[in-house]
Structure 1
Amino acid sequence: MKILYQLKIGDFAPSESSRSFTKEGYLKCVNVRLAKAPQVRQYYAYEFPSLEGFTADQIINVYTPADELFKPESVSSFSNVDTTDYHPPKNEINASNWKDYHIGYCENVRREGDYLVGDLLIKDKTSIDLIQSNERIEMSLGYAALLVLENGTAPDGMPYQAKFINFIGNHVALVKYGRCGGDCRIGDQNPTPQEENTMEVEVNGIRFDIGDNKPLLDALNIQKQQLENLKAAKLKVGDKQFSIGDELPAVQAVVDKLHTDKATLEQKVGDLEKNQMTPEKVEQAAGERATLIADAKALVPTVKTDGCTCEQIKRDVIAAKAGDALVGAVLGSVAVGDANLDQVDTVFRALSAVKGVQPSNPVGDALHIQQQQPTQVGDQNPNPDQSKPSSKKDAWKEKL
């Protein structure tokens, strides 16, 4: 029984090509081998998330028939697709992520013998340097396809458990190691052939000769490619994007900052809730202001209160009472405008407490009493008990 699975695949294949630069500094790679068919390639079952009946670490031989890869519609689907440095997440370039992964184009895709061939125009300077230093010289196709579960044998005698059909191209990726071996990589016009029956693999920067053990080489290359893909993956935190491979400290710093900001915001929310003006607090504040205005008017009847804050009213009253000994005793040499809120509040409370008590002033009291006594003028005798002289003859005696 045949079972079909719709998949998005990132395949790897080596390539030979010629390189040249455009006047803009772009790298033109002509006759790049993108893929090969017929061919059986090995995959781990976990690379097909919807696949049933296999354990995650089980290796599956998947056959790519030539008549499927080289269908006219399959070949044309790879023309003018994006070129990327490694595969994007989910092996798909779309409108939301192409700016993050696009480094150039693949064009003029065609069949040449057993190979799918195309021309690359690489525009990204970093990727160009990686190609020129042979760090990125192998190719990997990114495509959607149907996976048919069926047992069979390829023309070269290799057994398989599934095959791909109905290829739809999405992108082509530069990778360090391809799944198909060494046939499809970006080379130069005079590639150096490898020695017969000699295979090398690089692990942590150290190269090992594994003879002609191709399955081991393929397995190691697959593992290494998966690690490279993981390192190249992008992680988005807020409005920032990081490379998982070499920016973990920066990611941690952003996460820590987000945690700190969250704690700060929670504290601010708590303070706002604590200081929120409830109807009871509004009523209390209105009562306190009314009392303040009454005290201020009692101290300085002409003080302005409309449109003024409570603090301003207090300062205006104190300024009007600047000559009062009580003000000087509290503020000392501090000007009213320079006094802090606690000093202003203390002076105003003190003035309000004594606003009904008049200070003792003996001189002023005497003058006030004198002003209240009647003044006698004209011929009236200021002293009613003093008798009037009886005659002019005796008048001189009164003067003495």
Structure 2
Amino acid sequence: MKSINLTELVDAGATRKTSDGYLIADAKVARTGIQRYAGYELGFADRGVMRVYRPEEEVFKAASLASFAGKPVTNDHPATSVSAEDWKEKAVGHVGNDIARDGEFVRVPFTVMDKATVEQVEGGKRQLSVGYSATLTVEDGFTPEGEPYDAVQRDIKVNHLALVRAARAGSEARIEDGAKWGASPIFDHKEEAIVKTYNIAVGDKAFVVNEDGKEAVDAMKIIVADKDAELAEAQKQANEAQAKADMLADCPSSKIVGQNWLSISGVSGPIAC
């Protein structure tokens, strides 16, 4: 069992602007069920895509729901957790206290108070991503609906609610993550953007990486190939030099004939025999 930071994406839903210029909304921001993560993002580099189960009793646990209340709203995910020490620099609004269950989702009210962020939301930045921590236990099992899973989330604790470009909990959860605050689930629903992963072999090791990781590995392969070509050329020159040295060593110097030259394997030298 390990404690990790995670994110979950959703849609802002209907919003209204107050006379003071604040933006008020009520949105579904978390859900039950299975979400898929790249194993390396959860700290398991030797595993591919992992199916992580969020049980109903954990998502709607009183302590988990209470952790939403009063939490800061941020513009993109901060790189680290928001606390009393830095909320003034990171917060652009806050979550209200009327936290409620809405089907398989958690519904929360929130307010955006920063003018620049309000304008971004009105301009289309309408998805939300919950930044939270949870304990993750690797265990195989099946949900009550019969879906298989590889791990279970428990003890969910919310840290902040981020406004982002593209959510990951589905189109029902709206308002691209910014800073890499935590592991993000992979969507494979047809109506959602798919986060593509690649199986990469490095020596005898296999890894699952995202697009950035694949580009890095591809670039490294080109560098290695160039170095291999340089090494092969150097080896060729060494072999040719050795061939010339061997030829001269086998022929008495008294038999070297004037200025006549012989080329052996591309290496020129005087005719010694």
TM-score (norm 2): 0.62
In our comparison, the structure showing a higher alpha carbon Rg is 1
Query: One-letter code of the match for 1:36?
Result: R
Deviations 1:294-339 (A, max 9, x none): xxxxxxxxxxxxxxxxxxxxxxxxxxxxxxxxxxxxxxxxxxxxxx
Q: 1:42 is aligned with what amino acid?
A: R
Mark the CA change 1:175 to 1:25 in structure 2 (over 3 Å): closer, same or farther: same
Q: Is the 8 A contact 1:62 1:162 kept in 2?
A: yes
Aligned equivalent of 1:21: 17
- Count of residue correspondences: 189
* Residue 119 of structure 1: aligned partner: 109
Deviation at 1:100, TM superposition (A): 2.7
2:30 counterpart residue number? 35
Q: Which residue of 2 aligns with 1:9?
A: 6
Q: Secondary structure at the match of 2:172?
A: coil
One-letter amino acid of the structure 2 residue matched with residue 26 of structure 1: Y
Cross-structure match for 2:70: 80
2:107 is paired with a residue whose SS is strand
218 and 41 in structure 1: CA distance in 2 versus 1, 3 angstrom threshold: farther
CA contact (8 A) 1:41 1:179 kept: no
Find the residue that maps to 2:58 and give its secondary structure: helix
Per the alignment, residue 194 of structure 2 pairs with 219
Q: CA offsets per residue over residues 20-67 of structure 1, 9 Å max, x none?
A: 11221000112x111111x1111122322xx34x437x2211111111
Counterpart for residue 89 of structure 1: 79
- Aligned mate of 2:53, from 63, 72, 75: 63
Report the secondary structure of 1:78's partner residue.
coil
- Give the conservation status (yes or no) of the 8 Å contact 1:177–1:221: no
* CA-CA distance at 1:218 after TM superposition: 5.0
Q: Which residue of 1 aligns with 2:262?
A: none
Aligned to 1:131: 121
- 8 Å Cα contact 1:178/1:221 also seen in 2: no
Q: Which residue of 1 aligns with 2:99?
A: 109
Residues 1:47 and 2:37 aligned together: no
Secondary structure in 2 matching 1:11:
strand
Higher relative contact order (CA 8 A, sep 6+): 2
Unaligned stretches of 5+ residues in structure 2: 176-187, 199-209, 212-273
Per-residue deviation, 1:220: 2.6
CA contact (8 A) 1:34 1:141 kept: yes
Q: 1-side partners of 2:190 and 2:88: how far apart?
A: 36
Q: Residue type matched to 2:30 in 1?
A: A
Higher strand share: 2
- The structure that is helix-richer by fraction is 1
1:141 and 1:172 in contact (8 A); partners too: yes
**d(CA) in 2 for partners of 1:216, 1:20:** 27
Q: What is the rounded CA distance, in whole Å, between the counterparts of 1:132 and 1:113 in structure 2?
A: 27
Q: Distance in 1 between matches of 2:195 and 2:131?
A: 21
RMSD between aligned alpha carbons? 2.8
